[in-house]
A and B are shown apart, each in its own frame.
Chain A
Amino acid sequence: MIQSLLDGILVGSILSLGAIGLTMAMHMLRFANFAHAELLSIGAYAALVFDGLFSALFPPLAAAIAPLSLTWALSLAIIISMAVTAGSAILVDRFVFARVRAIGGELSMVFASFGVALVLRNLISLIFGLKTQLYSQDIVFAVVISADPLLLVKPDQVFALVAALVIMLILHLVLSRTTLGYSLRAVAENPTLAQVSGIRLSRMIALIWIIGGGLAAVAGVFYGLTNQISPVIGRDLVLPIFAATIVGGIGSIYGAVLGGFLVGIASNLALVILPSGYSPAVPFLIILAVLLIRPNGLFGEARE
């Protein structure tokens, strides 16, 4: 039971990172982006490529940072991967979403995002193969933090949790303390008025994709680090991430953080009762529960 709670918190931090970017895009670009979870896959695979590259070029970097299985090479690769993923998000927006936005409505964007997700996911399968992969072949043993009740934690998981919390804190400071954060929130509140005040909308849209893509990349790498990397990361995480945004309330960044943790914990606790085969359906049950009890989520506001 406590082990499930612990695992839930760890998974939750990954979902939170994914949900922050998604909820920002849903709030400001006003469409449910079903391709968002594919950014996690792109991040995970970009890091895999650069990790391999750095380890081959500079062998000392391939040493693990004890007690983690994370290597120096992978840490560097995460930063490059954030840039690659943010770049991919901007490219997809430029070439697909911007065009669809110009001629169609919000729901055409949702349609397009499904198409984009299908293309991205299967391109990744085609390039990297359908098999699962790992960043490190070394076995990292879990640390026993308590014998009764038995509690196990892998150092990588703790690292991922702490790093995720630090990143969220940085994002919070940027959004609440800088002009950039103000502009971003102004655009979310009222795009027209923000433009009148001299905020460039196209730059803000690019910024949303940079933040969303960067966070998604980190989430993807952490997911790969604590589970495994496969082309279906996006398919498996899209519903939990959406559940996190709905729990938190669409558009609320703090809601997304909390929602991610709640969905992570609830999914793991549900598996205490349900057979594990049912786990893909749990996020849907959470969505149903939220829609029944509090349709606009914890921090969301009603909007047509």
Chain B
Amino acid sequence: MIGVISYLVFFTTVASILAIAVLGLNLQWGNTGLFNGGVVAFFGAGAYATLILGGTPQADHLGGFELFYPLALLGGMLAAGLLAWLVGVLTLRLRHDYLAIATFGVAVAFETLMRNAEGLAGGAKGLRGFERPLREALGDGFTYNLVFLAFVLTLLIVVYVFLGRLIRSPFGRMLRAIREDEVAAKSLGKSPSRVRLTAFVTGSVIMGLAGGLYATFYAFISPQDVLPILTFQIWAMLIVGGAGNNAGAVLGTFIIWGGWTASGWALSRFAPIEAQLYTGTVQFILIGMIIVGMLMWRPQGLLPERLVVSQSGKPENKHKTGSRR
């Protein structure tokens, strides 16, 4: 029984961390219509920066600033934000496929850099020497994981509430206005490229937070954790849950992460030994089919976006489906 509970705690922790990243993507894609093809770069920037800033000194790579943990986590978010700002400044003025290509490229470049630059982040061996915060007080066992889960859930709720308010605020209305009709928004004196940049950076900072938490949980990060498949998983989570709907984003995360874990377990358990090598291949096909299938048959996701008519004074509960430009 304790085994089951401790597995559930583990599963919920990872899923909640991923849910934070999906919420960040939802601000970019769901609310603003920005295509981020390299979620994993911003997730990874947060993860690496958190460990480098908060870790103990290492002989063979950068790090060991031993910052107070919350500062290290903020540093990770800052790193993700800076990276996003750089990419955003260069591409958000241009036609929108440039952002897709540039973000995809930044993820490839990020993984390549982390894999090769041993002096910076340990190269392919990964980044070690991070001491999990409060480990002395709580130990390494079940208690620690439970406390960490509570910490992650708190941050998930904070991000959820923050984004909920942001979307209902005038700024959120402006995001949707730009997404739906850029020319109209411009004619009202808004600056679409600046607003897009703000939304893109904010979303990426949230992804950086998720990355920082992920790295903290494992006290380790390596290039294997920042492979492109993570980007696809995070997309699948958002598309299944419902782009533009934060509750949907969280629901989608738990469904996809559950499905991913279960399919991995089933394949390793029931597939013949010689087919085990192809477990990942089969799972990738499933993720690809989920993305394509949802876009073809239910583009609005399980929980569609609720479009609010702001003039009526009262939120209107009319579901509008899949008219995204």
| Residue interface bits B289-318, CB-to-A below 8 A is 1, else 0 | 111100110010000000000000000000
Contact residues in B for A119 (Cβ distance below 8 Å): 285, 288-289, 292
Closest residue on chain A to residue B296 by CB atoms? A99
Give the chain B neighbours of A285 by CB distance below 8 A: 109
The interface stretch among B11-19, B110-118, B194-202 is: B110-118
On chain B, the residues within 8 Å of A106 by CB distance are 96-97, 325
Given contacts A291-B98, A304-B95, contact A117 B288 (CB under 8 A): yes
With contacts A112-B295, A284-B109 taken as known, whether A125 is within 8 angstroms of B278 at the C-beta atoms is: yes
Binds A, one of B56-64, B100-108, B153-161: B100-108
Could you say which of B101, B109, B112 has the most chain A C-beta atoms within 10 Å of its C-beta?
B101
Q: Is the CB of A107 within 8 A of B35?
A: yes
Give CA–CA (A67, B151) in the complex, Å: 68
In the bound complex, how far is the Cα of B182 from the Cα of A237, in angstroms? 34
Chain A residues with Cβ below 8 Å from B324 are 104-105, 107-108
Inter-chain contact A239/B105, CB cutoff 8 Å: yes
A96 contacts partner chain B, Cβ-Cβ < 8 Å: yes
How distant is the Cα of A236 from the Cα of B322 in the complex, in angstroms?
Answer: 33
Interface string of A72-108 (1 = CB under 8 A from B): 0000000000000000000000001001100111111
Per a CB cutoff under 8 Å, which of B94, B115, B278, B288 touches A295?
B94
Q: How large is the interface on A (under 10, 10 to 19, 20 to 34, 35 or more residues)?
A: 35 or more
Return chain A residues, CB-CB under 8 Å to B289.
115, 119
Residue of chain B at shortest CB distance from A276? B116
* Chain A CB within 8 A of B90 CB: yes
- Contact yes or no, B91 A125, CB < 8 A: no
With A118-B288, A291-B98: A105-B325 Cβ-Cβ less than 8 Å = yes
B101 contacts A111, C-beta separation under 8 Å:
no
Query: Is A298 an interface residue when CB atoms closer than 8 A count as contact?
Result: no
Q: A107-B33, A111-B235, A278-B116 are in contact. Are A242 and B101 (CB under 8 A)?
A: yes
B315 to chain A, nearest CB (A): 25
270-288 of chain B: CB within 8 A of chain A = 277-278, 281-282, 284-285, 287-288
B285–A246 contact, CB under 8 A? no
Bitwise, A270-304 to B at CB < 8 A (1) or not (0) is 00000101101101110110011001100000011
Q: Do residues B115 and A34 form an inter-chain contact, with CB atoms below 8 A?
A: no
User: A281 to B108, alpha carbons, bound, how many Å?
Assistant: 6
B106–A284 contact, CB under 8 A? yes
A103 to chain B, nearest CB (A): 6
Interface residues of chain B: helix, strand, loop or mixed (majority): helix
B287 interface neighbour in A118, A130, A239, A288, Cβ under 8 Å: A118
**B90 shortest CB reach to chain A, Å:** 5
Docked CA distance A59–B277 (Å): 35
Select one of A105, A126, A292, A295 contacting B285, CB under 8 A.
A126
- Inter-chain contact A280/B108, CB cutoff 8 Å: yes
| Residue from the list B97, B112, B278 in contact with A26, Cβ < 8 A | B97
Please tell me which one of the listed residues B108, B112, B281, B292 contacts residue A116 in the complex, with CB atoms under 8 A apart: B292
A123 on the B face (CB < 8 A):
yes
Q: Are A246 and B235 in contact (CB under 8 A)?
A: no
Q: A125 to chain B: which residues have CB within 8 Å?
A: 278, 281
Contacts A107-B35, A114-B291, A119-B288 given; indicate if A126 touches B97 (C-beta within 8 A): no
Residue A31 is within 8 A (CB to CB) of chain B in the complex? yes
Q: Is B232 an interface residue (CB 8 A)?
A: yes
Q: What's the minimum C-beta distance from A78 to chain B, rounded to whole angstroms?
A: 27
In the bound complex, do residue B287 and residue A31 qualify as a contact, i.e. CB atoms below 8 Å apart?
Answer: no
Q: Is A42 an interface residue (CB 8 A)?
A: no
Given contacts A106-B96, A119-B289, A304-B95, whether A111 and B295 have CB atoms under 8 Å apart is yes
Chain A min CB distance to B26 (Å): 14
Restricting to B21-55, which residues have a CB under 8 Å from any CB of A? 29, 33, 35, 37
Min CB distance, B309 to chain A, in Å? 22
On chain B, the residues within 8 Å of A104 by CB distance are 295, 299, 322, 324
CA distance A61 to B312 in the complex (A): 76
Task: Give chain A residues whose Cβ lies under 8 Å from the Cβ of B91.
Answer: 291
Is the C-beta of A110 less than 8 angstroms from some C-beta in chain B?
Answer: yes
| Structural contact, B116 and A277, CB atoms closer than 8 A | yes
CB of B239 within 8 Å of the partner chain: yes
Give chain B's interface residues, CB within 8 Å of chain A. 29, 33, 35, 37, 90-91, 93-98, 100-102, 104-106, 108-109, 111-113, 115-116, 182, 232, 235, 239, 277-278, 281-282, 284-285, 287-292, 295-296, 299, 322, 324-325
Q: List 22 A-B contacts (CB under 8 A).
A: A34-B37, A103-B322, A107-B35, A107-B100, A110-B37, A112-B296, A118-B287, A118-B288, A122-B284, A126-B285, A130-B281, A238-B104, A242-B101, A242-B105, A243-B105, A250-B97, A277-B112, A277-B116, A281-B113, A287-B105, A288-B102, A291-B90
A contact residues vs B (CB 8 Å cutoff): 26, 31-32, 34, 96, 99-100, 103-108, 110-112, 114-119, 121-123, 125-126, 130, 238-239, 242-243, 246, 250, 275, 277-278, 280-281, 283-285, 287-288, 291-292, 295-296, 303-304
Supplied contacts A104-B324, A115-B288, A284-B102, 12 more A-B pairs, CB within 8 Å: A34-B100, A96-B296, A103-B322, A114-B235, A116-B292, A118-B287, A126-B282, A126-B285, A277-B112, A288-B102, A291-B102, A295-B98
